[in-house]
Amino acid sequence: MSGLGKLPSMSNYSDAAAFFNENGYYIAKNVFSGDTLKGIEEDFDRIVAQLLQSGEEINARWSGPEMERLQTQKLKVLHTHNVQQYSAKWMAAMLDPNFIAATTAILGPDVILHHTKLFFKPSEEGAPFPMHQDWTYFPSLQDTMMAGIVHVSEATDEMGCLRVYPGTHKLGRQEGTSGQFENEVLEKYPLENAVPLEAEPGDVVFFHYFLIHGSMPNRSPKPRKTVLVQLHSGADQIEPGNQHPNEKLVLAGWNHHATRSNVNG
């Protein structure tokens, strides 16, 4: 796959940090497998069924000129925050030794769970996400925030897998990258030219929240199932005043900024 470079060894994640720092992403293979993978998929499907029964608005499809250009007005992507509040199996997955090993290899010994997000792209009608950065939603003071996409199903390019521009995390904070409107960032980094990061069930794709990324529609006959785990270093903290859901759960090591008042808030 052009633009990816040589992937490092996935056995002990020894080169994970170097690869991540250079490219802005890292593919950890086969993090979840066997009964664990089977269990989190069962509970993923159960969460989706419960959401559909709830009658809530759960379509996270974006709007705006870029979505109109992609001709996706009738497509959808189902979404909820914090799968660990639905399922003990998903809470256990956040503490799985393989997942913690990959995460600490990139972030260091102290890891904080900010939140999780479930995304279900239905077969043949799963909505895309235009190219954007994530930092605007939950900026952290030291910009250590990254995501780990847990692939519950496979994710091919036809299924609308993650697409990225490797190395664009080095651009830092870019204004106007939300994907909601036309701007020079979208013109310079079109979705069609981005590098697809295909993955198998159980893989986790980590990426920095500055990395310019998006995804195509799911035009395949199979649904795409992913849970995005948002993480930051225990030495970092969220900028004051941010209202995004923030679990503040210590998955590894220590929270260096915990106080009586902010853990109660």
Q: Residue 186 maps to which CATH number? A: 2.60.120.620
Q: Report helix, strand or coil for 26.
A: strand
Whether the predicted pLDDT of 229 surpasses 60? yes
**What is the biggest distance separating any 2 CA atoms in the chain, rounded to whole angstroms?**
50
2 within domain boundaries: no
- Backbone CA torsion sign across 247, 16, 206, 34: negative
Answer whether 161's CB lies under 8 Å from 199's CB.
Answer: yes
Read off the pLDDT of each residue in 11-36 and give the average, rounded to a whole number. Answer: 93
8 within domain boundaries: no
> What is the domain range of residue 225?
18-196+206-233+245-250
Whether the predicted pLDDT of 193 surpasses 90? yes
170 within domain boundaries: yes
pLDDT digits (tens, 9 = 90+) for 118-135: 999 999 888 878 899 999
Confidence of residue 240 (pLDDT cuts 50, 70, 90): very high
pLDDT at 262: 87
Confidence of residue 60 (pLDDT cuts 50, 70, 90): confident
pLDDT at 186: 79
Confidence of residue 71 (pLDDT cuts 50, 70, 90): low
210 within domain boundaries: yes
State the Cα–Cα distance between residues 197 and 215, nearest whole angstrom. Answer: 10
Phi and psi at residue 202, in whole multiples of 5°?
95, -15
Read off the pLDDT of each residue in 131-157 and give the average, rounded to a whole number. Answer: 96
Using the CB atoms, write b or e for 132-167: b if 16+ within 10 Å: bbbbeebebeebbbbbbbbbbbbbbbbbbbbbbbbe
The runs of H, that is alpha helices, within 151-220 are 184-188
255 within domain boundaries: no
State the Cα–Cα distance between residues 205 and 138, nearest whole angstrom. Answer: 19
Phi and psi at residue 193, in whole multiples of 5°?
-95, 0
What global pTM score does this model have?
0.92
Look over the chain and give the mean of its residue pLDDT values, rounded to a whole number. 90
H-helix or E-strand containing 164?
Answer: strand 162-164
State the Cα–Cα distance between residues 263 and 134, nearest whole angstrom. Answer: 24
Read off the pLDDT of each residue in 158-185 and give the average, rounded to a whole number. Answer: 85
Q: How many domains does the chain have?
A: 1
101 within domain boundaries: yes
pLDDT at 263: 85
H-helix or E-strand containing 196?
Answer: strand 195-196
Name the one residue in this structure whose structure tokens are 């293979």: 29
